Copies of this chain bind each other. A is one copy, B any other.
Amino acid sequence: MPTIKDVAREAGVSIATVSYVLNDSGAVSEATHQRVLQAVEKLGYRPSVIAQGLQARESRMIGYSWRPMPPDQFNPILEKFIHGMAEAAARHGYHVLAFPSTEASDEISPYREMVERERVDGFALSNTNLDDPRVHYLLDIDFPFVAFGRANPEWDFAWVDVDGAAGVEQAVNHLLELGHRRIACLAWPEESLTGQYRLTGYRQAMAAAGLEVQAGWVIRAENHYRHAYQAAQTWLTQPPTRRPTAVVALTDLMAIGVMNAAADAGLTVGRDLAVVGFDDAPITGYLRPPLTSLRQPIAEIGERMVTMLIDLVRGETPSPAQVLLKPRLIVRDSTRLSKREM
């Protein structure tokens, strides 16, 4: 690989002049400028990112880590999220460094390692939670990061999030328009901040419609198929005149659990029970019936996070520093075919 010295020799100038030409700084005569560019072209010279990094004390890397899903669960948005970030980052001369999260016991040590060894200039976080220790640590050492998801409202940091409340509200309103009145919600445990926001959307939409949320209409469960299946069973064993006619599940995986429970109870999803999911996993369109779901603007989230992060790395404050994006309801047969006579 040719270095700046080779270019300098080839062009008959000092390495400083080459550097000035390449960075468009300093005062260089037009003739020299051309000569240097020709030498660069001839040798196929590209500056070494490592040497530049040492000089500038930066790595031009964005660190990102995630906890892998158990084999029976899926993360439908991860691939697009990483790719979206990688693409946006590349446009700014940055790259995404994927590092593993191992034990849940010590969440921050992989992050600390990256910071201390100067591997990354900033982090993208996802799956943040209230009092997230990573957010706490990074705020503490004042290291640049942007989160996908909110955390403790008292902490001031840059984040991008999907407006789960607005999303679920859309879903409930859609069901209301179809004539549903007994609408249940399959929610997450109380600790989950994202779960809280989404559940709030459900409660607000119901309240706005003047509907009381009956006891038992909200069931909290972990994001597992089996839990969702069991929760649905408790609803479906109620008499037809009392049981929910529609279910909003906080993820597609849980929605699938509900759909299968309904089918196993002899009900036709879409006609006897409307189901809505969240995430719009690629699979949703191929389920029977295809699942209505809330699609998150993943590419935009990745893009926004990267540009905000680069602002922070450069010492600027991104504006806005908090971004809430609306998900879009993709209507499919799991609700469309369930129109109720009003």
Contacts and interface: CB of A to CB of B under 8 A. Distances in A.
A282 B118 contact: no
Contacts of A83: 66, 68, 98, 100
Interface string A226-259: 0000000000000000000000000001001100
Each complex incorporates copies of this chain amounting to: 2
Given A76-B74, A79-B69, A260-B286, A97 B100 contact: no
Contacts of A257: 286
A33 B122 CA distance: 34
Given A50-B50, A79-B68, A95 B95 contact: no
A73 B100 CA distance: 26
A102 B61 CA distance: 19
A251 to B, nearest CB: 12
A78 interface: yes
A207 interface: no
Interface stretch (A11-19, A40-48, A131-139, A174-182): A40-48
Interface of A: 1, 44, 46-51, 53-54, 59, 61, 66, 68-69, 71-76, 78-80, 82-83, 86-87, 90, 95-100, 102, 116-119, 225, 253, 256-257, 260, 263, 281-283, 285-286, 288
